[in-house]
Every structure is written in structure tokens, then in C-alpha cells.
């Protein structure tokens, strides 16, 4: 992953690129609407590989403490249209999200 910019605060924004196993690069960008430490993050998400800009999703991630060492992440994503939603699902969004969460878990485990 390349991180071009990542300003995780209310009003901040981000721009990253991920490289697939076949060598293709995919860029994403968004802005943070709310960053409430240990509670939630509300942000936008946009894939920059679309023919036109503006296919933005609004995402909310809520962090729910299960115990001292475990936190669940509850997410909700809202697309601008059903067509945008269906396109994201068809593009493999679920498996991409799962890979990202698993990578985050490995990173956090390595810090312990």
C-alpha cells in the first residue's frame, strides 16, 4: 500500500493506493467527518478508477469493546445510488475489506 496522505482527524482527508497481486494499482480517497477516539470514525470513500468522480460512499465504523483485549468493529456504508452499491459489491469490496481487516489484525498482533 502507498499512503500519499493520511490526516485522521475531524475535517482531515486521505489518499492511498493498493497494489493487487497481479500488479495493478488502485487509488482511493476520502475525508474524515468525525474521528471520535475509541468510539467511531465517519468518513467518505471514493475509488479513483471510475470514469467520472462523485461515486462516493459514506462510511461509519463503530468500535465496541468486548473485553480488555478485544474490540468489534461495526461498519455501515451508504452509496449514492443502488447502481454504485451494486458495482462496489460486484468489484469484490467484501473480500477487499476482509483482507484489510485481517492485515490490520496482524499488524496489531505484531505490536504486542
What count of other Cβ atoms lies within 10 Å of the Cβ of residue 43?
19
Model confidence pLDDT, tens digit, residues 45-80: 999 988 889 999 999 999 999 999 899 999 999 999
Structure-block grid coordinates of residue 83: 447502481
Q: pTM for this structure?
A: 0.82
At the topology level of CATH, where does 2-111 sit?
Answer: Alpha-D-Glucose-1,6-Bisphosphate; Chain A, domain 4 (3.30.530)
Q: Does residue 106 have a pLDDT over 90?
A: no
- 109 burial (CB, 10 Å; 0-12 / 13-18 / 19+) is exposed
Q: CA 44, CA 101: separation in Å to the nearest integer?
A: 18
Would you list the domain boundaries of the chain?
2-111
Q: What DSSP string runs through 36-80?
A: ETTTEEEEEEEETTSSSS--EEEEEEEEEEEETTEEEEEEEEEES
Poorest-confidence range of 14-18, 28-32, 57-61, 87-91?
87-91
Amino acid at each position: 500500500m502507498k499512503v500519499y496522505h493520511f490526516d485522521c482527524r475531524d475535517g482531515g482527508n486521505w489518499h492511498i493506493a493498493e497494489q493487487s497481486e497481479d500488479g495493478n494499482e488502485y487509488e482511493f480517497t476520502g475525508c474524515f467527518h468525525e474521528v471520535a477516539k475509541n468510539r467511531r470514525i465517519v468518513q467518505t470513500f471514493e475509488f479513483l478508477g471510475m470514469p467520472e468522480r462523485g461515486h462516493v460512499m459514506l462510511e461509519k465504523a463503530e468500535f465496541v469493546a468486548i473485553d480488555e483485549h478485544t474490540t468489534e468493529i461495526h461498519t455501515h456504508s451508504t452509496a449514492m445510488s443502488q447502481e454504485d452499491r451494486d458495482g462496489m459489491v460486484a468489484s469484490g469490496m467484501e473480500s477487499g475489506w476482509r483482507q484489510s481487516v485481517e492485515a490490520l489484525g496482524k499488524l496489531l498482533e505484531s505490536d504486542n
